[in-house]
């Protein structure tokens, strides 16, 4: 039986876009957004056409908002199943041309469209393990043959079973919380980080994996990693040096580009 999440005085960040924005202020998440933004711009420079970006599990569209203005993007499609996030994104992208925000499940949505660059920022780890492969393949179905997929992911220390997974989650978020305290971050942020850790330990809303699991899933789905950048931690090291925050750029294996 799954353990129930304890109530948080702030509310549930999974259902509240403003709380989500608050918890994303920690250094690792900020580095993920900035590095992913830069990688997308590298891929835009590769294209000879105006690009279509599709953001699966777009949340509040943080990466796309950071890119603006971006004349090389003709269209942006964001998909998320949380109404609060979609509403927040709509408000922050008011007046931006070519934006379409869709309330849908990114695992099985059909957009009747395809993208040059697909974004999966904090997306893969919000999909249950049993649905990760359908999620990856659904993104691939929406990607043009010469397209690219940009992941921004939190990667846990290595584990072998559920008990070790819980330990890895505590190690990862213990360091996140310790760093936030050292930086003097708001106590609300600390409280929200505890909430995220509790979700991960109990396998509710958060389903992070270690790097071997992540790489294996991409390979099984038919994706080839082109670039892999670890952006956090920068001031300390986990015992498992593979753990941390990563931006990964991938393409479909069969693509000749």
Q: What are phi and psi of 14, to 5 degrees?
A: -65, -20
143 part of a folded domain: yes
Query: What range defines the domain where residue 141 resides?
Result: 26-160+208-252
| Average pLDDT, integer, range 7-26 | 87
pLDDT digits (tens, 9 = 90+) for 171-193: 999 999 999 999 999 999 999 99
* Structure confidence at residue 6 as a pLDDT band (50, 70, 90): very low
199 part of a folded domain: no
Q: Is the per-residue pLDDT at 257 higher than 80?
A: no
pTM equals 0.94
200 part of a folded domain: no
CATH of the domain at 137: 3.40.50.150
Domain tally, the chain? 1
187 part of a folded domain: no
Q: Greater confidence, 144 or 3?
A: 144
Tokens of 113: 């469209």
| Average pLDDT, integer, range 5-21 | 80
Residue 247: what pLDDT? 98
126 part of a folded domain: yes
3-17, 45-59, 102-116: the lowest-pLDDT one: 3-17
Q: Strand pairing partners for 78?
A: 55, 101
64 part of a folded domain: yes
| Average pLDDT, integer, range 110-139 | 97
Residue 8: what pLDDT? 67
Q: Is the per-residue pLDDT at 214 higher than 90?
A: yes
Inter-residue contact 129 to 226 (CB < 8 Å): no
Q: What number of residues does the chain have?
A: 257
Q: What percent of the chain is predicted at pLDDT more than 90?
A: 92
DSSP output for 48-117: SS-EEEEEET-TT-HHHHHH-S-TTEEEEEEEES-HHHHHHHHHHTTT-TTEEEEES-TTT---S--EEE
Residue 144: what pLDDT? 96
Residue 51: what pLDDT? 98
Q: What are phi and psi of 239, to 5 degrees?
A: -60, -40
Q: Is the per-residue pLDDT at 4 higher than 50?
A: no
Q: Is the per-residue pLDDT at 9 higher than 90?
A: no
198 part of a folded domain: no
């Amino acid at each position: 039986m799954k353990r129930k999440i304890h109530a948080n005085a702030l509310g549930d960040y999974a259902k509240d876009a403003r709380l989500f924005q608050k918890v994303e202020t920690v250094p690792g998440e900020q580095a993920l957004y900035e590095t992913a933004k830069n990688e997308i711009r590298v891929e835009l420079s590769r294209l000879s056409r105006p690009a279509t970006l599709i953001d699966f599990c777009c949340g509040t569209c943080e990466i796309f908002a950071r890119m603006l203005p971006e004349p090389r993007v003709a269209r942006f499609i964001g998909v998320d199943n949380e109404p609060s996030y979609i509403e927040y994104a709509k408000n922050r992208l008011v007046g931006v041309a070519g934006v379409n925000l869709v309330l849908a499940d990114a695992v099985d949505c059909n957009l009747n469209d395809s993208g040059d660059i697909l974004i999966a920022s904090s997306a893969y780890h919000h999909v249950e393990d049993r649905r990760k492969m359908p999620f990856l393949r659904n993104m691939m179905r929406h990607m043009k043959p010469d397209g690219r997929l940009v992941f921004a992911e939190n990667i846990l220390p290595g584990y072998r079973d559920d008990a070790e997974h819980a330990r890895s989650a505590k190690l990862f978020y213990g360091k996140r919380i310790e760093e936030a305290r050292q930086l003097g971050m708001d106590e609300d942020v600390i409280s929200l980080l505890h909430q995220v850790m509790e979700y991960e330990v109990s396998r509710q809303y958060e389903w992070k994996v270690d790097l071997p699991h992540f790489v294996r899933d991409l390979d099984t789905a038919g994706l080839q990693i082109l670039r892999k950048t670890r952006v956090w931690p920068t001031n300390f090291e986990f015992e498992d040096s593979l753990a941390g925050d990563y931006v990964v750029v991938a393409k479909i294996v069969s693509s000749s580009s």
